[in-house]
Amino acid sequence: MYGWRGRIGLMVPTGNSTMEPEFFRLCPEGVSVHANRVYLKDVTPASLRAMEDDAVRCAEGLVSIRLGVLAFGCTSGSFVGGKGYDENLIRRIEDATGLPTTTTTTAVLRALRRLKVQRIALATPYTEEINAIEVKFFEDHGYEVTRAKGGGLTDTPDIQECAPQVAYRRARDVDNGRAEAVFLSCTGFRSIEVLEKLETDLGKPVISANQATFADCLSILGVGEAQPGFGSLFGYPEAAPGAAIETLHPSARHG
C-alpha cells in the first residue's frame, strides 16, 4: 500500500510543474503524494484571489484517497488577501473535507518560528506588486523583510522554466548582514537542490516554499523524517501526533 505512513493531498495551481517533482524528491519511505489542480490564470492579485473557491472543489476531489493532510500549494495564493487569509482558506477547506489542512504561507510562518528568526530576505519570481503584498503580509505578522527582489513574472509556465541557478543567484542578491534567513517564495520556483549550497555559502538558514510546505505536512502526519540533503529546516523536528494511521483506516472520515 502506498502511503502506509501517511498520504499528502496536494492542491497545485494549473501550470505548476515544479511542486509535485520536488515533493516526490523529499518523500521518505512510506509517505505518498496525491495531487489535484486549482485553476490559476496568471500571478496577479485578481487571479490569485479567484483561486479560493476552486480550492474547495479541488480539495473535495482528493478526499476519497483517505489522506492524512491536505496542502494548498501556492504561496502567493495564500497570502494575497493579507493577514489571516491563509487561516480563512484553511477553515474553508477543513469545513468542506474534515481533513487537517495547511497552506504554503502557513507552513512558511511555522518554519520561521521553528528556526527562531525575525528578519528575512525575500527572493521571488513575482512582480513588484505581488512582492509588496508579500512584504506587508510578513510585516503584519511581526517579521522584518530586510530586502526583497522578484523576477517580474506573471505567467505560471514562465516561473516553472527558471533553472535552480536563478533561485540561487536571486537568494544571494537579496541576502544581507541583517537577514537571519532567506526565503525563496513560490511553489513553482525550482530551488530545493540549491538549498544546502546556499546555506553553506551564506552561513544561514534558507527556506523554500516547497520545502516548508512539505515539512509542515510531515509534522501534521507525525512523520519525523525526510530525505536528507534539502536544507537545515528538516533538522528542526516539530512532529505533531500522527493522524496517518487513523485517516487510512476504513472507518476514517470520508472513507
Is the pLDDT at 216 greater than 70, yes or no? yes
Give the mean model confidence (pLDDT) for residues 117-123: 98
90: Cα within 13 Å, side-chain hemisphere: 15
Cell reading at 22: 520536488
Q: Record the pTM.
A: 0.91
The predicted pLDDT at position 246 comes to 37
The predicted pLDDT at position 249 comes to 32
Comparing CA positions, the residue from 206, 216, 219, 167 lying closest to residue 188 is 167
What residue ranges define each of the domains in the chain, with the CATH number in brackets?
Answer: 6-107+211-248 (3.40.50.12500), 108-208 (3.40.50.1860)
Cell reading at 124: 521571488
More confident residue, 235 or 11: 11
Comparing CA positions, the residue from 46, 44, 59 lying closest to residue 92 is 59
| H/E element, 190 | none
Confidence of residue 227 (pLDDT cuts 50, 70, 90): confident
The predicted pLDDT at position 238 comes to 54
The predicted pLDDT at position 228 comes to 85
Distance, in Å, from the CA atom of 119 to the CA atom of 10, rounded to the nearest integer, reads: 29
Q: What strands, in cross-sheet order, belong to the sheet with 31-38?
A: 31-38, 6-13, 69-72, 101-103
Q: What percent of the chain lies above the pLDDT cut of 70?
A: 92
Query: pLDDT tens-digit profile of 11-54?
Result: 999 999 999 999 999 999 999 999 999 999 999 999 999 999 89
Cell reading at 103: 497552506
Cell reading at 186: 513560490
